Amino acid sequence: MLWLDTAQGSPPVQPIIMQIVLLLGMFAIFYFFLILPQRRQQKKEQEFRNSLKKGDKVVTTSGIYGEIVAIEKDTLLLEVDRNVRLRIEKAAVRSYAQPSEG
C-alpha cells in the first residue's frame, strides 16, 4: 500500500515526443545562432579572396603590408618592398590595406 501512495504522488514523466521537440529546438537554436553566422562569414571571406587581383594592396594575417604582383591558384606573390617578394597563401590575406593619411 505504501508503494502505491508514493507512485501516485510522483510527477508524471514527460512523453518522449516532448523530449524530441526540446532536442530539436536546442539544435535549431545552435544552428541559427552559431553555425549559420559562421558559414556566412566563411562565404564572405572566400568571396574576398576570390576577388583579389594584381595591383591590390593588402595586409596579411601576420601584419605584413604589400602589393599583389602575381596570383596563382592558391598562392599570391606579394611585393613588400623594392625587389622583396614573398609567396603566401591566399588564406593568409586578412584585408585590403587602408590608404595612409598624410
Q: How large is the average pLDDT for residues 66-73?
A: 93
pLDDT at 66 over 90: yes
- Between strands 57-60 and 93-96, the pairing is antiparallel
| Residues ≥6 apart with Cβ < 8 Å to 95 | 48, 58, 59
Q: Is residue 66 part of a domain?
A: yes
Helices (H) and strands (E) in the chain, counts: 3, 5
Q: Is residue 60 part of a domain?
A: yes
Q: Is residue 2 part of a domain?
A: no
Which pTM does this prediction carry?
0.64
Q: Is residue 83 part of a domain?
A: yes
Say what the pLDDT of residue 13 is. Answer: 57
How many domains are contained in the chain?
Answer: 2
pLDDT tens across 13-55, in order?
568 888 899 999 999 999 999 999 999 999 999 999 999 999 9
Residue 84 to residue 65: CA distance in whole angstroms: 12
Domain with residue 71: its CATH number is 2.30.30
| Residues ≥6 apart with Cβ < 8 Å to 81 | none
Domain that holds residue 63: 53-96
Q: Is residue 75 part of a domain?
A: yes
Write out 36-59 in H/E/C secondary structure: HHHHHHHHHHHHHHHCCCCCCEEE
